[in-house]
Amino acid sequence: EQKPVVTEFKPSVDVASLTDFVLQNEMVRDAAFIQHNIDTKQYIVADARASERFHGLAAEPRPGVRSGHIPNAVNLPFGQVMDDICYKSPESLHEIFSNFSEDLTQPFVFSCGSGVTGCIILVAAIVSGRHNVSLYDGSWSEWGSNPALPIEQ
């Protein structure tokens, strides 16, 4: 299927008018928050890495980073929310996230290897109709590098 293309960028908003940015701390989580969540299980921690890395079957690409995943985390490789180079339909994404929780208010924290592809599945969750989402931006590169933090394989 051919996608529409443009020859020049035309922003939908006057970028110069965007001045009121406010940091929303609740949208970015740290290792202490994730460690607390291991016990409380309030948030579903969804990891966007490939299944082999998540399960500790493939070596991590960063030296000194252990293999495995955050305890109680679920695996949602980012490619599963994509249809080639686009997101899947909102209905398909809703079905994917419903596999983890039928409750649309269930909070999610997204992670990956370094905080980048976690954003892909975070946006997919929003497209699916979920809004209680945040990112653990330290992700596995931080968690797996700290021997004091627990892991599962």
Catalytic residues: 112
Q: Which amino acid is at 15?
A: V
Residue showing tokens 């985390």: 73
How far is residue 141's CA from residue 119's CA, in Å, rounded to a whole number?
15
Give 51-94 as a 3 state SS string.
HHHHCCCCCCCCCCCCCCECCCCEECCHHHHEECCEECCHHHHH
Tokens, residue 88? 């899947």
How far is residue 90's CA from residue 25's CA, in Å, rounded to a whole number?
27
